[in-house]
Structure 1
Amino acid sequence: MMKITINIDCTPEEARTFMGLPDVKPMQEMMMKEVEERMKSNLNAMDPETLFKTWLPAGISNMEQLQKMFWAQFNNGPIGGSSKE
């Protein structure tokens, strides 16, 4: 039995071209730019004011209305019925 070893010294680009594989670097760069843009736009959604507006009902537009809603709930008494004295 005979073994033959061949060492080829080439760059990855040269090997890819020799084997007929496509150059995906431009597509990869384009995709990375898109991922970066999406991440930046999602960071804007993490702004506290934006989160506050998203989580609260549309009828509550400012902090004063929110406070009035909370106080109205507290003034209604215990949850589940009348209180025993």
Structure 2
Amino acid sequence: MKLTVNVDLTPEEARRAMGLPDLTPLHDRYVASLLEAMNGQVRPELLETMMKNWAPMGDAGLAMWRQMFDQATGGGKTGN
């Protein structure tokens, strides 16, 4: 016998049904503090620090992110 149950829930309803905490206020506070810290400016050293924290492969991952950023902004030299 095969039984299939489809449940149509919003993400909020699913979170509550599974007993997960509501992190919306924490997320909103984090985003507000990040925007305040950036003050409308995106500095390369800020992005480098952020990517270093997120890079899965340490310096090699950081080098990959730096190359992608340079190519996207025209800051790096290409082979053309």
What is the TM-score normalised by the length of structure 1? 0.45
Work out which structure has the larger RCO, using CA pairs closer than 8 Å and 6 or more positions apart in sequence: 2
